[in-house]
Amino acid sequence: MEKEKQFKPTKAETPQKRRRERNAAAPKQQRSKREQGVREHTERPRAKNGKRGAKPVKIIFLGGVGEIGKNMTALECGEDIIIIDAGAIFPTEETPGFDLIVPDITYLVENAKKIRGLILTHGHEDHIGGVPYLLKELKVPVIGTKLTLALVDNKLREHRLNDVKEITVTPGQTIQLGCFRVKCVNVNHSIAGSLAFAITTPQGVIFHSGDYKIDLTPVAGEPIDLKTISDTGSAGVRLYMGESTNIERAGFTMSETVVGTTLDRLFAENVRRRLIIATFASNVHRLQQIIGLAVKYKRKVALSGRSMLNVVEAAEKIGEITIPSDVLVDVTKIKNFRDSEILIVSTGSQGEPMSALTRMANGDNAAVTVGNNDTVIISASPIPGNEKLIYRVINNLYRKGADVVYESLENIHVSGHACREEHKIMHNLLKPDYFIPVHGEFRHLKKHAQLAEELGMEEHKIIIPDIGNCIELTSKGLRLAGNVTSGSRLIDGEGIEDEKASVVIDDRRQLSEEGLFIVSVAVSHGEVIGEPAINSRGFVFDFHRDYTREIRDVINRAIESYDLSRGTVDELKKVIKRALRNYLLKKTKQSPMVVPVVVEL
């Protein structure tokens, strides 16, 4: 009797059962793709949750979301914090004159005692450029692969940071940092030694992809470790944080071997010409291909650009690159060789103003003069925002008579970032409960979130983060849990400026856009002596009109209206500044910076 009750469907169960039977019987291709995705999502095994009563894990975004570069994320649980990457970006037109921009680490400094380590995904500037500035304020161990740490060492020496604990890891290795157990997973990228991290936490596994692509035929090293990624997904992933840089590109990213084939052909086609190749200094595998081709075609290699020399030295030191002893020559000695015997490998693939290639194009490079018998190969694609700089360099190289080969003409660059089909593979292997897109502008994060939904993830299980967001992972799910102090810090030489509270950046913008007026006034015993001296820079005058007399009259009237015997010099400066700015705005529609100088005699 009990057995009959166990198997006999109730009226409430019957329609559900019939629907399940109809769906199971229907051909799979007749169902919509979204329906199939939802079915796969709901039927797969749930990821392992954290232990009941376990503390929540906070994911704190300090950079790298809503922007390209400056990557930095912190994971916090109880009394433990780990930091993933400490990147930087180069200044834009909105930050004139600064050298570098790094994340605001106020929150980390306030919680310094909790920090167990800084783990680095790879050695690109947008992931390690901020390391020395972080280590000036925080004493924490730095963890990464051999090449990543070798590149960090160059920065530490430059900043005279000698007492830094470094821990070298290899793919497959696991390291315990407080309550976080971090497993290093090999991935392919445009630099050797790149890692993803499978991080076991009290709330389950968090998988951080780092920057990656799926390259099954890499020119060096092992292919991406899809088996470990798949095994991690099968065991259960609570949260996936996936990079989003190339999410707008359909299909798959080409293999690095494609570049080697194209370069080989270009070497063969230019046997009588001098070759100049500009590429990312950090792309060690491409540099190895280029050096191999130089050996094949019996050319000496001259390196041009400080970062190129630094990276090659670091990579050669740890065995990531192999260069025959008689191949390298000093760039200042290239005039001793015929054009057909020389290959120059240069920085400047992004048109950076002070790079070796830009100085060649401008005729400012003392060692290399570009001419009619040069073929310049730019083995890189423009980082968004750098297009104008690159095309200016290309135009100048053409003007000097060189032939120029760039991405629009040949397959001489492949990205290190996954395209949409590779992202689909990663999502399907990991099968996460929750998803946060990272590493990209808002449009990239939004597109990646939409892709996750297309693959069957419910919208409420996805959060698109912003800098400063603190997101909590608990046994109940994922939720936004407020914000922390965040933003950018502007580096200028040894100086560091907070972008949000920066008077300096406002002054520089005004100077660059409107110019400068300096008004000097001499004061003795409460009275102004002589005429004010007026100097201007960067201000556009109406050349049909002489404003000097009118400006002096404005300043004199402002001074006469002020009783210096009852006031202060600082107040007099404000009176002069206000009067002159109002006059200039009314007469010229311009608002330059006005700097009054009052000299007391």
pLDDT, tens only, 64-106: 999 988 999 999 999 999 999 999 987 666 655 566 889 999 9
Q: Check residues 574 and 108 and name the one with the higher pLDDT.
A: 108
- Calpha distance 472→57 (Å, rounded): 6
Q: Are 582 and 576 in contact (CB under 8 A)?
A: no
pLDDT value of position 541? 63
- In the chain, residues under CATH classification 3.40.50.10710 are 257-405
pLDDT per residue over 457-467, tens digit each?
A: 999 999 999 99
Q: Which of 47-61, 155-169, 488-502 has the highest mean pLDDT?
A: 155-169
Q: Check residues 544 and 417 and name the one with the higher pLDDT.
A: 417
User: CA torsion 174→178→180→181, rounded to 10°?
Assistant: 20
Helices (H), 523-568: 548-560
User: Which of 7-16, 118-127, 427-436, 561-570 is the least confident region?
Assistant: 7-16
Q: Domain 57-252+416-492's class?
A: alpha beta
pLDDT value of position 112? 97
Confidence of residue 531 (pLDDT cuts 50, 70, 90): confident
Residue 388, classed as helix, strand or coil, is helix
- Model confidence pTM above 0.75: yes
pLDDT value of position 523? 78
Strand 434-438 versus strand 239-243 pairing type = parallel
Confidence of residue 48 (pLDDT cuts 50, 70, 90): low
Q: Are 163 and 136 in contact (CB under 8 A)?
A: no
pLDDT value of position 89? 83
* Six-digit token string for 190: 């445009």
pLDDT value of position 32? 39
Opening angle at CA 356, ends 412 and 296, nearest 5:
45
Q: Reply yes or no on whether the pLDDT at 49 is more than 80.
A: no
Q: What share of the chain has pLDDT > 90, as a percent?
A: 60
- In the chain, residues under CATH classification 3.60.15.10 are 57-252+416-492
- Whose tokens are 């006059």? That residue is 583
Closest to 451 (Cα-Cα) out of 409, 418, 498, 487: 418
User: Which of 91-100, 102-111, 143-152 is the least confident region?
Assistant: 91-100
pLDDT value of position 491? 74
Which residues are within 8 A (CB) of 396 and not within 5 positions of it... i.e. 6 or more apart?
A: 361, 362
Q: Reply yes or no on whether the pLDDT at 35 is more than 50.
A: no
- Calpha distance 522→600 (Å, rounded): 6
Q: What's the one-letter identity of residue 357?
A: L
pLDDT value of position 300? 96
Using left for φ > 0, alpha for ψ between -120 and 50, and beta otherwise, residue 109 falls in alpha
pLDDT value of position 240? 98
In the predicted model, what is the mean pLDDT of residues 389-409?
Answer: 92
Q: Domain 257-405's class?
A: alpha beta
- Calpha distance 66→40 (Å, rounded): 30
Question: What mean pLDDT is reported for the chain?
Answer: 85
From start to end of 322-468, where are the E strands?
328-329, 342-346, 374-379, 403-405, 434-438
Q: Are 21 and 40 in contact (CB under 8 A)?
A: no
515-600 topology per CATH: Ubiquitin-like (UB roll) (3.10.20)
In the predicted model, what is the mean pLDDT of residues 571-598?
Answer: 83
* Six-digit token string for 407: 């991405």
